Amino acid sequence: AQTVTQSQPEMSVQEAETVTLSCTYDTSENNYYLFWYKQPPSRQMILVIRQEAYKQQNATENRFSVNFQKAAKSFSLKISDSQLGDTAMYFCAFMKLYNNNDMRFGAGTRLTVKP
């Protein structure tokens, strides 16, 4: 079974600064997808960034980027130029390619951006 671990229950960062959220996972699969989702107080799950395991290049989406280390099974999220609107819960998620393609989530990191 796949497990996803986020070891930082809470983090804070000053507005305009950079913060990195950690995520590790355990799997015997070779091909899979990894995601970071954001959940603001509205409860809506919002996809932030995604990474295909077969791609060595780290994904980037504007101020968001990942550091994907496949051998170490690590998938951290870096938020640059943090904004107040980035305040939310962030969930790391793993999805295998086969057998229902269900998505498994880490425990989440509550990020607070301070003015």
Partner 1 sequence: SAVISQKPSRDICQRGTSLTIQCQVDSQVTMMFWYRQQPGQSLTLIATANQGSEATYESGFVIDKFPISRPNLTFSTLTVSNMSPEDSSIYLCSARVPGGALAYGYTFGSGTRLTVV
The answer to the question of residue 75 lying near partner 1 (CB under 8 A) is no
Give the dihedral of Cα atoms 95, 36, 108, 70; nearest 10 deg.
60
**Part in contact with partner 1 (CB under 8 A); list of ranges 13-21, 39-47, 61-69, 80-88:** 39-47
Q: Which residues pair with 49 in a beta bridge?
A: 36
Residue of the chain from 12, 47, 69, 81 that contacts partner 1 (CB under 8 A): 47
Q: Which is nearer to partner 1, 85 or 115 (CB)?
A: 85
47: left (phi over 0), alpha (psi -120 to 50) or beta: beta
Task: Verify binding: residue 3, partner 1, rule CB under 8 A.
Answer: no
